[in-house]
Amino acid sequence: MLNAIYYHKRRGSVYAQEPKVELYQPYEDLLTASIWERIGYLPDSVIWHIVKKALAASCSAEMPLEAGALEAFRFWPRWQFKGGEVEPDVFLQFETCDVIVEAKRLDDANQQNPEQLAQELTAYFTTYPNRGSICVGLLAIGGLPDYEGSIVTRLRDQVLSRVSATNRQRVKFGAISWSSLYRVLEPIVAGSADTSAGTRLLRDMKRALVLHDVALRDRVWLADLPQGIQSQGLNISLENYDGFAPWPRCSPELLMNKAYDWSIGDAYGRIQQWRIQ
């Protein structure tokens, strides 16, 4: 389906009337499925390597070097708990560690909800009472304004404070952006899969991220550029402004009026031509 959407081959499907950008960008579930389905095609040890590195991006706790066979890989499982029902985005069950993934749409917005994350942990412990001897990873993807320092620490503390003291000791909490997740998995996939197969998997994941308007490069903020370049200014050509995300923050008028803080990475991803003169 990813490539059918990418190449506009949607006739006869439920997606036929949706423009490519409008179909993909608003929906986190399509992005989640496109990335994690392809991760699921990899060997168990490689999947664990990706998960471990993603958790380690903001988690100081030691993760097991190996987690054994991947016994279950589920999208949107429904778990009951005393207060109702939850539906995490992805659940990975290894021999010695279980991992819950909760994904949000944007990399740079405050969307992760500590109450929701805590409820998913509570429902997990209710659903799997016999796995009390293994570690539990909770990976939040996207939905934070920043992924280092106090923001992740505060979210982790807010989540774990809502979980029983006995269970919270088992939880390894981590948060990572979609763009950082790709940078984590890219060398792992490239180095562990067959060269051509790894290339195809990475190509598809990159297409999904680009369709979803996720920047694949680190942002370089204008304020961080050398003073000489700042004083020369940034000239953005809008001649070919066509087909980019129809969000207010991406409109030519807002760009020209500098109505929001933006980076060279943002400009490069949304404007086909830009240059520093």
pLDDT tens across 9-29, in order? 445 444 445 554 455 545 678
| Domain ranges within the chain, ordered by starting residue | 28-36+44-178, 222-276
* Angle between helix 178-192 and 28-39 (nearest 10): 20
Q: Which residues of the chain have pLDDT under 50?
A: 1, 3, 6-10, 12-16, 20-21, 25, 230-231, 233, 236-265, 267-277
Q: What is the pLDDT of residue 13?
A: 46
pLDDT at 228: 58
Q: What is the model's pTM?
A: 0.74
Pick the CATH number of 28-36+44-178 from 1.10.287, 3.40.50, 1.25.40, 3.40.1350: 3.40.1350
